[in-house]
Structure 1
Amino acid sequence: MSVLVGFLFILILNFQIATIDARASKLTLRSAVYVRESSSPATAPTPSMADSSPGVQADSPSHHKLNKKLVIALIAASSLLGVILLPIMCLIICRRGKIFRSSKIRANRLDQLRGLPLSSFISRTNSTFKQNSQKPSVSVMDYSLLKLATNNFQESEILGSGGFGCVYKAQLDDTLLAAVKKLDNQSRDALKEFQTEIDILSKVQHPNIITLLGYCVHDETKLLVYELMQNGSLDTQLHGPSCGSNLTWHCRMKIALDTARGLEYLHEHCKPSVIHRDLKSSNILLDSRFNAKLSDFGLAVTDGANKNIKLSGTLGYVAPEYLLDGKLTDKSDVYAFGVVLLELLLRRRPVDKQAPSECQSLVTWAMPQLTDRSKIPGIIDPVIRDKMDLKHLYQVAAVVVLCLQPEPSYRPLITDVLHSLVPLVPVELGGTLRVAENRVAAAVP
């Protein structure tokens, strides 16, 4: 645009210069005609008189030289002006473009701070999972909306609590329920976990990993908003009031398979890979169909192999090499998975300080018995005892023993664990096992 303006400006100047030059030429011709007509034929000037008299024709060459100099000067001036105006016009246009873009960015940020409409982030977060597609960024949610949705964080809306704080049930609209986790701890570690949770869950998406709907920072209050998991945690189902009665054998195998799939996605498909570092039954959540999803990524690390990281985790689930030497790898998650699988079989907590000293550590007590087939049926949770194929029970016990090996190199990859569990889960529940329809119906609570 600036080039076009400069070109038009120079064109107009040249047109004006040409007009002035034409007018000067006409005046010269008219002056010459006037001189000829005023001269008498009888008294024509002699050559000497013509040379000595200052006539119009004698002055004509000097006028032409003056006109040429004027034209050259005007062209040079217009060119110089165009050279000066061109970068100025470019600068103005670029500046206006930057102002427009910055104003647009500020408007978008303002919309985020004000809180996006529910329809905008619900449609994004509830979309079909695609491992190869990039997940949309997590929404910033309005504090007043979350305060209203949780009835001002009433105790009656509390779903559970932990080291992070309380989790509240939230009614975001007529059809959408959510879980709102409120940060009570304001320590540096807690704030770091809050940021890590957002960073990781905003980048990963998988059917067996919890969906983060949004987050909110309001003064000192920090909130995380998740999809609601109607059946709570695996820990609650196993060790809560129901005492595992809702979990049949096939349902427990499905939960184990779902957990393995979530871990495999973190270890094998995320780039860089993610180590959960705090896998335990209370961080495995169950929806209305008992589909399992991994949650609580505050302690997770990316690409953490062969790195010494500050010891964190839950006693009873922490791998021995990490506990003793601080060495963390994906095999540390495999060890924790073995403990969860042992919980599913025995319905006993990993650490029970009320039990006799030889039974306080579940792994220490159970490992010798898991290697003796004659003893395995006797230690199984009574809820599922005698309700599964013994061959399948022995297979699961073998997987547990491999996952709990003290030496990390002896433990299988989570992919191998996944492949060993698939044949034990009915087709209708996501595996490859074919059983009678009435037995499958009984397997789903």
Structure 2
Amino acid sequence: MQLGTVTLFFLFIFSFLPSQYGAEVYNITPSHPLAEGQTLVSPSLIFELGFFSPNSSANKYVGLWHKSIFPRKYVWVANRDNPLAATDTLATLSIGSNGNLELVDGKQSSVWSANISNCSSAVLLDNGNFIVKDGMGADLWVSFNDPSDTHLPRMLLGYDSGSGKRNFLTSWKSENDPSPGLFLVGLSEELPAQLYIWTNGSTPHWRSGPWDKSRFIGIPTSNSDTSPYLNPWTLVDNVPQGTRYLSYSFDKIPGANVFTYADISSEGILRFLFSEIGKNWYLAWKSWNNPCDNYGACGPFGVCKAYESPICKCLKGFIPKSNKEWSKRNWTGGCVRRRNLSCETNTNESISSKGKDGFSKLERLKLPNFHEYLGSVALDKFEDCKTRCLSNCSCLAYAYVDNIGCLVWFKDLFDMQQFTAFGEDLYVRLAHSELGHVELIARRLESTSRIQIHRDGLRDYIGKHDFSELKIYDFDNILIATDNFSITNKLGQGGFGPVYKGMLPEGMEIAVKRLSSSSRQGVEEFKNEMRLISNLQHKNLVRMMGCCVKEDEKLLIYEFMANKSLDTFLYDPTKRAMLNWATRFNIIQGVARGLLYLHHDSYVKVIHRDLKVSNILLDEKMNPKISDFGLARIVEETHSLDNTQKVVGTRGYMSPEYAMGGIFSEKSDVYSFGVLVLEIISGKKNVSFYCYDQQLGFLAYVWKLWNEGRALELVDEVLGDSYSSSEVMTCVHVGLLCVQDNAPDRPTMTDVASILSSEKDGPHPKRPVFTIQNSVYHLGSSYENTNSSINEASITMIGGR
């Protein structure tokens, strides 16, 4: 009696245990169905089939998994379209009286069947294949011919064109829902074949590139990738029979004791995983590693480079179809040809004669889609492949691939990716003028570098340095980049001419300075800036990217500064508040570092001669960059002073000795810097401020506040009390030291940098007597308004010496 009670107790306990603890069976027969709590196991206990609910779902399914590996991966699901209720404990997988293998629910309604007859048994093999047999032991149905989302070793994925049978992998709808999802994996029918992931059954999502008899050439590997897990595939292509199947195995790995599978995730990623016995699953490879793996990421004639930013570039000879869309980083519209092909008839003379189409080579490429295979016409040589493509006006590109042969393209070149150390060579058909584009730039550069500059110091400097790295841009590309110099792209107007925003084909934003016919600065200033700044590299100097010269058009191309120039903030009643003290102090320090580089740290000594608020540009993080070097001069290190008959600069920023005598030196820039510092602190314009009560101009007024111990009254009222008193006092001190009348009294930029960093104390500044606004531009109290309309552009004066 006691023994019976114990037995009943354990039976009660086992009824609540998960299925893996239930009875294991080795076959299903008409008299022995598979019920809840039982599992069908393979002979060596590698695979197991039974009832499961994914992640405690409300639904129940019959599926297959590896018996000894956790977490479980369900490699096949029978009733993925028609789930059982998780509460249904009476469902069975059985062989009915009609000889069909069926899954029936607790009400004996059919949920799924193998759709066969004369079945006598069902067994599970050690390779994971679930097989239904007749009484003679012949296979009537196998799960390998009806895959779910998983590809197991020796399973065939492909098609039989004779029978119309195709085997695909179909993703789960989600991690908890095995019903068919959006993604399908299968082989294409083209030659050579490719492996595809499609969405909604027909739209390409990813592709492998063509099969070369040993691997898919669009899946990157390298010579160092020797792991057998990276290339396990075998493709058997029987053209006469119309069959093509992909499988994989690890028979080539001696002693390999691993389990493996490939599957398509619910997010559309093809994955290959492996597990050594008793260990977890490890990812060996996946189809998606970066945005370039998205099918057609850069559109027609665009190539994706995951290692660059932005990732999409147009092929050589092509430009964005829509510059507006590319500026939004929407590259799917792709690129269009810049110049039409000549494409003449197929004769030796026409192929080789001057002016005819040719090919440009691209290396390390995932070849574009929509190839046509010419291997059947015995094109075994590279030159034969080239000739065949060139002789056909519709042939846009060709490639000769080892173990494949000749591939040609007659449709738009689509879904290309350039790798860093892998890939094939593609030859793209271009107009002859595009093939000579590099040589044309070189000749134009050589011609440009010979332009005579009538300034002794700069001319000597040019003769000692190589400017071959200066990039020459194509004028047509700049037209496209700026939308024909559209007024909506105009950033501003300077002494040089208008400045436009542009977007290069690769997605990079630029600023384009265009020399206007009415410009106060002419060709000499253009040449000067082109040569000078192209050789100056500092984080606080604007970076020149290149130039463009075509007939009367003269353009300078710079990096784009997202926040334009300092004056657009400092003198705008609304934007001024965005310049908090930390930002203003950072700008002052940055400009000081830039000037220090020009005066002392670059390999030539440069005097800017036009430092002012509007020539300080701000990047996206409000970091300052000195710009506009059209008036700059190079001076010898041994010359402390230089002079000119032609005084150029901006009123209010010119030092007394330069404005009145044409004498300039690094101390001229120091004076301009001092004015700039005091304007940044106060938010006021030097030339438009006048204190009528005390008959003082801006600089004299600032000195008076300093001398009376009231320097903090200078601080821009929009800052309120949100500033560092010590930093403000330091900056006012520096500003006044810099605007002293006598050049020898002013500090060097080395001294300025030391004072700003609190490493050095400066002397008491002397009262500035010379002010242009007092002697020349004393026009009335209305100039207290920071929105003054005084013309403050760079001016030229003939100095009386």
Interval containing the TM-score (normalised by the shorter chain): 0.5 to 0.7
Decide which of 334, 352, 355 is 2:670's aligned counterpart.
334
Structure 1 residue aligned with 2:658: 322
Report the counterpart of residue 647 of structure 2 in structure 1.
Answer: 311
- Contact (CA 8 Å) 1:113, 1:142: kept in 2 or not? no
Whole-Å separation in 2 of the counterparts to 1:357 and 1:149: 53
Distance 1:214 1:355, change over 3 A: farther
2:597 pairs with 1:265:
yes
Q: Distance in 2 between matches of 1:336 and 1:419?
A: 18
Name the structure 1 match of 2:708: 372
Q: CA deviation at 1:354?
A: 8.6
The corresponding residue for 1:274 is: 606
Alpha-carbon contact 1:137-1:203 (below 8 Å) kept: no
Q: Does 1:245 align with 2:580?
A: no
Q: Distance in 1 between matches of 2:689 and 2:553?
A: 35
| Residue 687 of structure 2 is aligned to residue 351 of structure 1 | yes
Whole-Å Cα distance in 1 between the matches of residues 671 and 527 of structure 2? Answer: 26
Q: Does structure 1 residue 110 correspond to structure 2 residue 447?
A: no
Counterparts of 1:353 and 1:376, CA distance in 2: 16
- Which of 726, 746, 759 is the equivalent residue of 1:391? 726
Change (3 A) 1:134 1:112: closer
Say if 2:533 is the partner of 1:193.
no
**Are the counterparts in 2 of residues 319 and 335 from structure 1 also a CA contact under 8 Å?**
yes
Q: 2:755 aligns with which of 403, 420, 433?
A: 420
SS of the residue aligned with 1:140? coil
Q: Give yes or no for the alignment of 1:405 onto 2:740.
A: yes
Q: Deviations over 1:116-156 (max 9, x none)?
A: xxxxxxxxxxxxxxxxx998722110000000011101101
Aligned length: 301
Structure 1 residues 122-161: aligned runs within 5 Å: 137-161=469-493
1:112 and 1:139 in contact (8 A); partners too? no
Amino acid at match of 1:110: L
Task: Give the one of 608, 613, 629 matched to 1:297.
Answer: 629
Q: Deviations over 1:82-129 (max 9, x none)?
A: xxxxxxxxxxxxxxxxxxxxxxxx9864144689xxxxxxxxxxxxxx
Q: Residue in 2 aligned with 1:382? A: 717
Q: Which amino acid aligns with 2:572?
A: G
CA distance in 1 between counterparts of 2:660 and 2:701 reads 20
Residues 360 and 219 from structure 1, CA distance in 2 versus in 1: closer, same or farther, beyond 3 angstroms? farther
Q: CA RMSD in A?
A: 2.6
Relative distance call for 1:261 and 1:219 in structure 2 (3 A) is: same
Gaps of 5+ in 1: 1-105, 116-132, 425-445
For residue 226 of structure 1, what is the amino acid of its counterpart?
Y
Checking the alignment, whether the CA contact within 8 Å between 1:352 and 1:359 is kept in structure 2 is: no
Could you tell me whether the CA contact under 8 Å between 1:351 and 1:360 is conserved in 2? no
* Superposition TM-score, scaled by structure 1 size: 0.63
Q: Distance in 2 between matches of 1:331 and 1:114?
A: 38
CA–CA separation in structure 1 for the residues paired with 2:590 and 2:567: 15
- The alpha-carbon distance between structure 1 residues 270 and 363, as it changes in their structure 2 partners (threshold 3 A), is same
Identify if the C-alpha distance between structure 1 residues 188 and 356 changes in structure 2 by more than 3 Å, giving closer, same or farther: closer
Partner of 1:234: 566
| Distance of 2:534 and 2:755 partners within structure 1 | 31
Does residue 218 of structure 1 match 2:550? yes
1:440 corresponds in structure 2 to none
CA contact (8 A) 1:352 1:360 kept: no
Give, in whole Å, the separation in 2 of the partners of 1:359 and 1:231. 36
Contact 1:319 1:332 in 2 (8 A): yes
**Distance change >3 Å, CA 354–CA 407, structure 1 → 2:** closer
**SS of 1:274's equivalent?**
strand
Contact 2:492 2:500 in 1 (8 A): yes
Distance in 1 of aligned mates of 2:579 and 2:695 = 24
Structure 1 residues 234 and 357: alpha-carbon distance in aligned structure 2, compared to 1, 3 A threshold: farther
Unaligned runs of 5+ in 2: 1-435, 446-464, 760-801
The letter for the 1-side match of 2:542 is I
| Cα distance in 2 for residues equivalent to 1:358 and 1:213 | 49
| TM-score, structure 2 normalization | 0.36
Q: Percent identity?
A: 37
- Code of the residue aligned with 2:562 in structure 1: it is Q
Q: Which moved more, 1:257-266 or 1:362-371?
A: 362-371
Q: Which structure has the higher relative contact order (CA within 8 Å, separation 6+)?
A: 1
Q: Is the 8 A contact 1:275 1:303 kept in 2?
A: yes
Aligned-pair CA distance for 1:355: 7.6
In structure 1, which of residues 166, 177, 183 is the aligned counterpart of residue 498 of structure 2? Answer: 166
User: Partners in 2 of 1:318 and 1:245 — Cα distance?
Assistant: 28
AA of the residue aligned to 2:674: G
1:359 CA displacement = 6.7
Counterpart CA distance in 1 for 2:562 and 2:521 is: 29
Which amino acid in the other structure matches residue 440 of structure 2?
L
- Structure showing greater radius of gyration is 1
CA contact (8 A) 2:581 2:724 kept: no
The structure whose residues are more often strand, as a share, is 2
